[in-house]
Amino acid sequence: MERFQVVVAGAGPVGSVAAYRLAQMGVEVLLLEAAPRCPEDLRASTMHPPTLDMMKTLGVLEDLEAQGLRAPIYHYRNRLTGEVMAFDMGELGDISEHPYRLQCEQFKLARLLTAKLAAHPKGEVRFSHRLAHFTQDDQGVTASIEAPFGIEQVRCDYLIGADGANSIVRKWLDVEFEGFTYPEKFLTLSTDWPLEDHFPGLAHVNYVADPKEWCVLLRVPSLWRILVPANGEESDEALLSDAKKEAVFDGLLGDGASIKTVHRTLYKVHQRVAKTYHVGRVLLAGDAAHLNNPLGGFGMNSGIHDVWNLTEKLAEILLEDGDAEALLPRYDRQRRAVMHKFIQTQTIANKAAMEAGTAEAYAEREAKMRKILADPEQRREYLLLQSMYKTLELEAATA
């Protein structure tokens, strides 16, 4: 039976970061992906400053910069009045080498890292290989893998489940996925129509709030992505229809019929956290461990931060005879503390700020944003929070 020190299930951005970093550290790692290649998933496209610091450490930031757009400024916009409140991450230049968001679709990161891992002497990538089952004992984990021509088995010291929201790893562990699902769905429409010609001074990242109809306008290198809430009672067919597309762009631009879309993506919105990220020799990370609404761009980033923490601990265990019984429970405590105390709380608050519910509630939230923007100390705290540096402070402070 083949043996690796670590097997990672799922070659999305989180799994690919975990596997490539372990290989760089000198750990023998196998990365499994059920699909024939990294899917062109457009869901996540924002990398925050701490994540960019990590990408530099991996040696891939220059490659990502060439495929993305820097976005130091992001806007909160009032859809009714046209008021714009601009926040500039450049103000964090005294503590951050990369005081900006990088708008770069998640599949670009996954494809870059899987290619590098395949060429690394400590790494291996197997596409069209799906983790089907596993068992664990005191000495390691036996993974059963559905391959194109049969079932294969490999043995490893540790297994990381980075296999997404429907994680088979989490299901076989029988770990409860606590939380809730919003009644509405989110619809994302991508277009190459130049929105910047219609909205003067548009930033690459724009949260357009309205008590009745809010949206998010995000620029990636070749497209604008428009995210809107969608009635969960409507059929997927209706929400993905030309009629819905035209209604969205009628509200934005006044001429929805003339706008062509490149992608239309519909998805459910969850706020969920696994009851534990650690069961014996099996660990959870990324969407397999937690889900949150995308407002703020924290989902992919927090998953990458999960495995940044975890790979340090696994390398210490495997290469320096570190104490697994102390280190792995600490990974669970640190990263679940971040998810409960910051990510879940902040993403719920971000969604509430966008939709408000009533004109009065919206006016109150908008006044609060103006106060934050006008006060240098409050503004800096807000930028540290939204840039995710505060989450790493919380992680480090959690014993």
CATH of the domain at 329: 3.50.50.60
pLDDT 10s digit of each residue in the chain, 399 long? 899 999 999 999 999 999 999 999 999 999 999 999 998 777 788 999 999 999 999 999 999 999 999 999 999 988 778 889 999 999 999 999 999 999 999 999 999 999 999 999 999 999 999 999 999 999 999 999 999 999 999 999 999 999 999 999 999 999 999 888 888 888 999 999 999 998 889 999 999 887 677 889 999 998 999 999 888 788 999 999 999 999 999 988 888 999 999 999 998 888 899 999 999 999 999 999 999 887 777 889 999 999 999 999 999 999 999 999 999 999 999 999 998 887 777 767 777 766 666 667 778 888 888 999 999 999 999 999 999 999 999 999 998
Q: Is 217 domain-assigned?
A: no
Give the DSSP letter of residue 195: G
Q: Which stretches of 184-323 are DSSP H helices?
A: 236-239, 242-253, 299-320
* Residue 206 near residue 77 (C-beta atoms within 8 A): yes
| Closest to 161 (Cα-Cα) out of 148, 147, 151, 175 | 175
User: What pLDDT score was predicted for residue 43?
Assistant: 75
In a domain, 227, yes or no: no
Helix (H) or strand (E) holding 225: strand 223-230
pLDDT at position 269, please? 85
- 249-280 CB burial, b ≥16 within 10 A, e <16: beebeeebeebebeebebeebbbbbbebbbbe
40: in domain: yes
- Please tell me the pTM assigned to this model: 0.93
pLDDT of residue 106: 92
Beta bridge partner(s), residue 31: 8, 125
Q: Please report, as a single letter, which amino acid is at residue 72.
A: P
Domain-embedded: residue 194: no
In terms of residue numbers, what domain contains 141? 3-71+102-178+272-354
User: For 120, phi and psi rounded to 5 degrees?
Assistant: -90, 135
Distance between CA atoms of 105 and 112, rounded to whole angstroms?
Answer: 12
Residue 46's closest CA among 214, 263, 205? 205
- Name the phi and psi angles at 164, rounded to 5: 85, -175
* Length, in residues, of the chain: 399
Which one-letter amino acid corresponds to residue 373?
A: L
Residue 87 lies in a domain: no
- 389-397 helix and 376-386 helix, angle to the nearest 10 degrees: 70
How high is the pLDDT of residue 183? 84
How many domains does one find in the chain? Answer: 1
**Which segments of 259-323 does DSSP mark as H helices, in order?**
299-320
* Pair of tokens at residue 231: 């009635």
* Residue 2 and residue 28 in contact, taking contact as beta carbons nearer than 8 Å: no
pLDDT of residue 206: 93
| pLDDT at residue 353 in the model | 67
Q: Round to whole Å and give the CA distance between 196 and 249.
A: 14
Residue 397 falls within a domain, yes or no? no
Question: pLDDT at position 91, please?
Answer: 96
- Smallest CA-to-CA distance from 192 within 266, 247, 259 is with 259
Nearest residue to 124 (alpha-carbon basis) of 258, 33, 200:
33
Q: Say if residues 267 and 145 touch (Cβ distance below 8 Å).
A: no
Residue 110 lies in a domain: yes
3-state secondary structure of 13: helix
Q: In angstroms, how far is CA 256 from the centroid of its own chain?
A: 30
Q: Environment class of residue 360 by beta-carbon count within 10 Å: exposed (0-12), middle (13-18) or buried (19+)?
A: exposed
Kindly state whether residue 28 falls inside one of the protein's structural domains: yes
Between the CA of residue 60 and those of 32, 66, 112, 312, what are the distances in Å? Answer: 21, 10, 8, 18
Tokens read off for 279:
């069961």
Predicted local confidence at residue 365, as pLDDT: 81
